Copies of this chain bind each other. A is one copy, B any other.
Amino acid sequence: MKLLEDKILNVGRVLGDDILKVDSFLNHMIDTDLMMAMGEDFYQHFKDKPINKILTLEVSGIAVAFGAAQYFKVPVLFAKKIESLTLGKDVYTSEVISYTKNKRYNINVAKNFLTEDDHVLIIDDFLAKGEALKGMFDLCQQAGATVEGVGIAIEKVFQGGGQKYRDQGYDVYSQAMIERFENGQVIFIGE
């Protein structure tokens, strides 16, 4: 998606070998017009699927999912990373390893909000090694929900997470697919 790729090239910053910082429009400041345009783009890609719910992961997935939800006209469900006193115990839970944050944590959804009747579009801001995605697939599997597709804003293709799910036959659609970083520059697939 050119709009997102241009934004990444203009204001994204590469840190070290594998971190892309997009704090100015996605992970700290949010450009909601861009999120809406991305939401419409997800809708164009997945509109023929019987999607009735969008599943994402707090924190930065929420804004991306919000834009999509406005086009699909379905609710967003965000998995929670932190055990909360108000979440209750009746949850599905899955362990996720975060390489960026260098820790393990559990992600949780309340059982009454994800069921076998759900046809889910999973949305997230980044796809790298696929750890968060694995956790969200796991939550859907526990609930008996059907995963209709995966919509990602930025995929770091070289970290392999997307290919794993494409190999299993899932439609993983990423709006910006980064082949590699080179001298602090972002190189998209096909450039």
Q: Which residues of A contact B (CB under 8 A)?
A: 15, 19, 21, 23-25, 27-33, 35-36, 58-59, 62-63, 65-66, 69-70, 73, 75-78, 80, 82, 84-87, 100-102, 109-110, 113
A41 to chain B, nearest CB (A): 17
Residue pair A30, B101 in contact (C-beta under 8 Å): no
Interface contacts beyond A30-B66, A30-B69, A32-B69: sample of 10 additional A-B pairs, CB < 8 Å, sorted by A: A19-B86, A21-B86, A28-B109, A32-B70, A33-B73, A35-B66, A58-B58, A59-B78, A63-B66, A63-B76
A31 to chain B, nearest CB (A): 6
List the number of copies, as a whole number.
2
In the bound complex, residues from chain B placing their C-beta under 8 Å from that of A100 are 84-86
Main secondary structure of the interface of A (DSSP, over half): mixed
In the bound complex, residues from chain B placing their C-beta under 8 Å from that of A109 are 28
Q: A21-B86, A23-B110, A100-B86 are in contact. Are A62 and B30 (CB under 8 A)?
A: yes
Residue pair A30, B75 in contact (C-beta under 8 Å): yes
Residue pair A30, B78 in contact (C-beta under 8 Å): yes
Q: CA A46 – CA B87 in complex, angstroms?
A: 33
Q: CA A29 – CA B118 in complex, angstroms?
A: 13
